Amino acid sequence: KRRTAILISGRGSNMEALVAAARDPGFPAEICLVLSNRPEAGGLDTARAAGIRAEAIDHRAYGRDRATHEAAIDAALRSADIEIVCLAGYMRLLTPFLVGAWQGRMLNIHPSLLPCFPGLHTHARALEAGVKLHGCTVHLVTSEMDAGPILAQAAVPVLAGDTEDDLAERVLRQEHLVYPAALAAVAAGLPAAAPEPAAALANPLGWRAR
């Protein structure tokens, strides 16, 4: 099983979905570490309650020094022998240092059908734009925000009278299905050494969330 870490900033419901999926003996990834840039993130306690090592690396302790904060994250990942990193509601932009170090092995989930609505407030922007389909995307992380190769997407309808919260909830249910499936595909397709991003894309495996 591929040793996997999850980076969060808040509630961590996607993290929980990944942890739950990884309990399946046939799942090709194991969640070994949860890191948060915010010590108050609720997801840290949830992870600990599930028996997973969970630590805060508080970005505020590093001031404007993004490079040193990312070096601390990188060191924590490497000391835990992590092979795959999942960003799950991790709300800090990453510099090319961390992105480059984990190229092809770092996934993100974004609450829109990329390339529509990169960035923040995706549900409000979808309502504002009047789109009839909205959804979520799991993609490999590259140095351009919300723009790496797409691994999986799920679409939901936008219904008359939907509020931002209605839409967020409908999309989130799909996030919890699509993220474990995408992680399984990457974990199963990752070669033992010298990873190429394309290898992940070439192996859309049979594992599916139930």
- Size of the residue set binding ligand GAR (CB under 6 A): 13
Catalytic residue among 110, 123, 139, 176: 110
CB-nearest residue to ligand GAR: 89
Task: Identify whether the C-beta of residue 134 lies closer than 8 Å to the C-beta of residue 126.
Answer: yes
* Complex with ligand GAR: residue 172 or 199, whichever CB lies closer: 172
Kindly state whether residue 37 participates in binding ligand GAR, applying the rule CB under 6 A: no
C-alpha span between 60 and 64 (Å, rounded) = 8
Query: What is the footprint of ligand GAR within residues 76-95 (CB under 6 A)?
Result: 88-89
Look at the block and give the residue holding tokens 């992680």: 183
Catalytic annotation on 139? no
Instruction: Label residue 158 left, alpha or beta by phi (over 0 means left) and psi (-120 to 50 means alpha).
Output: beta
C-alpha span between 195 and 110 (Å, rounded) = 23
- Binds ligand GAR (CB under 6 A): choice among 50, 56, 71, 172: 172
Minimum CB distance to ligand GAR, residue 16 (Å): 8
Task: Identify whether the C-beta of residue 188 lies closer than 8 Å to the C-beta of residue 203.
Answer: yes
* Complex with ligand GAR: residue 12 or 189, whichever CB lies closer: 12
Determine the Cα angle at 23 with ends 193 and 35, to 5°: 65
Q: What is the contact surface with ligand GAR in residues (CB under 6 A)?
A: 8, 10-14, 88-89, 109-111, 172, 175
